[in-house]
Amino acid sequence: MLRKSLLALIVAMATAYAGAADNSPIADSAPDSYTVKQGDTLWGISGMFLKQPWRWPEVWKMNQDQIRNPHLIYPGQVVVLDRANGTLSIGKSVDGQVTGGDRLSPQVYSKDALSPIASIPLEAIRAFLVEPLVDEYGDNPALPTIVANQESRVIVGARGDTTYARNLTPGIDAWDIYRRAQPIKDPYSGAVLGHEAKLVAKARVVQPEANGKVAELALTESVSEVIAGNRLEPSSKTSLMAAPPHPPAASLQTSVASIYDGVRDAGRGSVIAIAAGRDQGMEPGHLVALTRVNGTVTYLESLRSSQKVNLPDSRVGLAYVFRTFNRLSYALVMDATGPVKVGDKVSAP
């Protein structure tokens, strides 16, 4: 299968910024060469060669007509750095020695035997791509809902246990069962944007709802107990291929609404909820800056005199948006220079 080589993207970034007014994008500690391995990501490889790995999407957008798959690279490729020219090339390994090759440019790369690797670590967000995560629908009685369990049990939770539900969409056999947890609020307006939705089980329809009788389902997976009142939604078929990182609209101004699982601070690898979603133009792949608003402090000039001093905002990290809802988005913190907190500002990088 023919694919564009993302290594072209790395050199495109290097050459795009070479000779620019700002400093060279090549990191001072960049290696002379690197062989791509299974499990690597574009983010990690870019970080080896570039001072700011997150800036590669800018180059991808400039070259989108030539580079069709900018978020994919292949194991076995060798990246060689030409320090004299500030460029990268595809090298070859001969008897353990890496030699230079053709200078990278947008080109076709064929590698049928290997699977491509992603731009970010998918394992960190795999579960979040398929779980409900957010309940945005309030107390609507017409939603799919568990109404009873087998033999009038209060709870069920074993594989094969029977539960009963109403308002299921006809023709859909696989369902996620979840419970609505704590509300997620805008940290400044206080408006409820949704509720965290915790997956409790997966089930398949044994008998559909018909003739005035509710549907019968059998549990196929269980995380915790299923009780009456739990909600259902069709099992997600979200793709596990992450979208290439790209900046949102420059006008984006929102905030961190919550940190997943209710922890106080987030760091690199943590999942956060952002108080903006599809309604505000958010989409998977958006790369956003996280900034601490330090506000003001009181400066005591003397015992009788004081004044308010405005402190500058502080950049605390970068986050990759991987799933969006109507008014909320979930993002993975990719880099952090300090703890990320609820209320931190979210904007275009």
Residue in 140, 145, 136, 144 with CA at minimum distance from that of residue 197: 136
- Angle at which helices 42-49 and 7-17 cross, to 10°: 40
Domain count, the chain: 3
Domain boundary among the residues 119, 137, 155 is at 119
Q: Cβ contacts of residue 282 below 8 Å, gap of 6+? A: 248, 252, 274, 276, 321, 324, 329
pLDDT digits (tens, 9 = 90+) for 53-79: 766 554 444 444 444 454 556 778 777
Return the top range by mean pLDDT from 100-104, 226-230, 297-301: 226-230
**Are residues 150 and 223 located together in one domain of the fold?**
yes
Q: Is residue 216 part of a domain?
A: yes
- For tokens 């049928």, what's the residue? 112
**Are residues 53 and 106 located together in one domain of the fold?**
yes
Q: Is residue 240 part of a domain?
A: no
pLDDT digits (tens, 9 = 90+) for 30-41: 888 888 888 787
Domain boundary among the residues 62, 84, 119 is at 119
Biggest CA pair distance of the chain: 82
Per-residue pLDDT band for 91 (boundaries 50, 70, 90) equals low
**Are residues 163 and 203 located together in one domain of the fold?**
yes
Contact between residue 311 and residue 305 where contact means Cβ atoms under 8 Å apart: no
Taking CA atoms, 63 is separated from 70, 102, 108, 296, 313, in Å, by 9, 19, 14, 43, 33
pLDDT at 118: 65
pLDDT digits (tens, 9 = 90+) for 218-251: 999 998 999 999 999 998 765 555 676 788 999 9
Query: How far does Cα 234 stand from its chain's mean position?
Result: 21
pLDDT at 299: 87
Q: Is residue 246 part of a domain?
A: no
Domain boundary among the residues 88, 119, 150 is at 119
Q: Is residue 247 part of a domain?
A: no
**Are residues 115 and 147 located together in one domain of the fold?**
no
Q: Is residue 201 part of a domain?
A: yes
pLDDT digits (tens, 9 = 90+) for 124-174: 676 676 666 788 887 788 999 999 999 989 999 899 999 999 999 999 999
Q: Is residue 243 part of a domain?
A: no
**Are residues 168 and 204 located together in one domain of the fold?**
yes
Domain range for 60 is 2-119
Q: Is residue 135 part of a domain?
A: yes
Per-residue pLDDT band for 316 (boundaries 50, 70, 90) equals very high
Structure tokens at 289: 């800056």
Residue 295's CATH number: 2.40.10.410
CA distance 16 to 68: 18
Q: Cβ contacts of residue 103 below 8 Å, gap of 6+? A: 11, 82, 87, 89
CA distance 293 to 311: 8
